[in-house]
Structure 1
Amino acid sequence: MTGLVSAAPSQHNDAQCELSIVIAVLDEQDNLPQVCRELAEAMQQLPAAEVVFVDDGSQDQTVEVLQRLRDECLPSLRILSHDRRCGKSAALRTGITAARGTWIATIDGDGQDDPRELGTLVSLAQVQATKGRAPLVVGVRTRRKDGLSRRLATRFANGLRQKLLNDQCPDTGAPIKIFQRADFLRLPQFEGLHRFLPALFASYGVPLVCHPVTHRPRLHGQSKYTNFNRAVVGVRDLLGVMWLRNRTHLPKSIREC
Structure 2
Amino acid sequence: MTYQFTIIVPVYNEEDNLQRVESELLKYLQIAKVTTSVLFVNDGSSDDSQAVIEAICDRNDAFEYISFKENRGLSAAIKAGFDNVDSELVGYIDSDLQTTPEDFNILLDHIDSYELVTGVRSNRKDSFVKSMSSKIANGIRRAFTHDGMIDTGCPLKIIKTDYAKRIPMFRGLHRFLPAMIMLQHGRVTQITVRHFPRIAGTGKFGFWNRLFGPLIDCFAYLWMKKKYINYEISKSSK
**TM bin (shorter chain):** over 0.9
Match of 1:83 among 62, 69, 74: 69
Unaligned runs of 5+ in 2: none
What does the per-residue CA deviation read over 1:223-249, in whole Å, with 9 as the maximum and x for residues that have no partner? 112111232222111111022223335
Identity %: 30
Instruction: Say if 1:251 and 1:83 are closer, same or farther in 2 by CA, change over 3 A.
Output: closer
- Give the corresponding residue for 1:56: 43
How far off its partner does 1:107 sit?
0.6
In 1, distance between residues paired with 2:229 and 2:160?
A: 21
Q: CA RMSD in A?
A: 1.6
1:68-217 pair list within 5 angstroms = 68-72=55-59, 74-126=60-112, 128=113, 134-217=114-197
SS at structure 1 position matched to 2:109: helix
Unaligned runs of 5+ in 1: 1-12, 129-133
SS at structure 2 position matched to 1:240: helix
8 Å contact from structure 2 (residues 141, 215) kept in 1 = no
8 Å contact from structure 2 (residues 120, 151) kept in 1 = yes
In 2, distance between residues paired with 1:40 and 1:256?
A: 46
8 Å contact from structure 2 (residues 115, 159) kept in 1 = yes
1:232-251 pair list within 5 angstroms = 232-248=212-228, 250-251=230-231
How far off its partner does 1:71 sit?
4.4
SS at structure 2 position matched to 1:162: helix
In 1, distance between residues paired with 2:97 and 2:188?
A: 25
How far off its partner does 1:138 sit?
0.4
- Give the corresponding residue for 2:14: 28
In 1, distance between residues paired with 2:231 and 2:64?
A: 38
8 Å contact from structure 1 (residues 19, 48) kept in 2 = yes
SS at structure 2 position matched to 1:78: strand
Instruction: Say if 1:249 and 1:41 are closer, same or farther in 2 by CA, change over 3 A.
Output: same
8 Å contact from structure 1 (residues 140, 171) kept in 2 = yes
* Count of residues in Structure 1 that have an aligned counterpart in Structure 2: 236
Q: Partner letter of residue 147 of structure 2? A: D
- Give the corresponding residue for 1:131: none
